[in-house]
Amino acid sequence: MTARPLIGISTYAESGVRWGVWQLDAALLPAGYPRLVQRAGGLAAMLPPDAPERAAATVARLDGLVVAGGPDVEPVRYGAEPDPRTGPPARARDAWELALIEAALDHGVPLLGICRGMQLLNVALGGTLVQHLDGHAEVPGVFGRHPVKPVPGTRYAAAVPEETSVPTYHHQSVDRLGTNLIPSAHAADGTVEAIELPGPPWALGVQWHPEMADDLRVMQALVSTARGQSCR
């Protein structure tokens, strides 16, 4: 039986979370993320924010990495002033996840960025973000849907070759692409909905939330690649 690769998933760090009789600081992850990894054939491991200098040692234990959705990336990370509609910074998480991305790219660990994770991948490679766009998160706390169309010949198109309706919840997007990144899917309004590195290392980012859908193909692509490299 083929071993299940170990896929690390970055998490939220939240203060004063209540459950039962407790109200404590917590490392949180919506259950859709580990469930998607498990359904796609991987083992899921939560990665709470840590010191950035420990990112390389953390990634060295993994077969694949998922950088999850979450708060807006602080604009200073891509040389911009904050728009009034940009959310408050999550500086510790930005530093940790950027270090994870750098370590994954340096060591050839397959990487999937989801929503914020895609935006951070772009920023990590020198790209910039649109700080606000309308129509991609219309109702607070409710996922919408819209179609995304793959770019032929890309890694994403190999996994999902047809136009697909996907669950979305974001108000920021990729602006200038980072070094060597290419767009691999677009929304009908032209918004870049997926980005990737065309060669090794394996790195893909999607703007939507595959953990909120039944379509496993994006995660299966990561898990399959991670499985193939797990004996490295």
Q: Return the pLDDT at 229.
A: 78
Instruction: State pLDDT tens for residues 19-42.
Output: 899 999 999 999 999 999 999 999
| DSSP codes of every residue in 75-117 | GGGGT-PPPTTSPPP-HHHHHHHHHHHHHHHHHT--EEEETHH
Range 153-163 burial, b when 16+ CB lie within 10 A, else e:
ebbbbebbeee
Q: Which domains does the chain possess?
A: 6-229 (3.40.50.880)
Q: Which residue in 115, 136, 170, 193 is the catalytic one?
A: 115
DSSP class of residue 52 equals: G
Contacts of 158 (CB under 8 A, 6+ apart): 221
**Contact between residue 67 and residue 104 where contact means Cβ atoms under 8 Å apart:** no
Cα–Cα–Cα angle for 175, 180, 182, rounded to 5 degrees: 55
Residues 127, 77 contacting (CB under 8 angstroms)? no
**pLDDT score of 126:** 98
How many angstroms separate the CA atoms of 47 and 195, rounded? 23
* Residue 115 annotated in active site: yes
Q: Which regions of the chain are under pLDDT 70?
A: 1-2, 138, 230-232
Phi and psi dihedrals of 35, rounded to 5?
-60, -40
For the question of residue 74 being annotated catalytic, the response is: no
End-to-end CA distance of the chain: 18
Number of CB atoms found within 10 A of residue 28's CB = 13
Helix (H) or strand (E) holding 123: helix 116-124
Is 231 catalytic? The answer is no
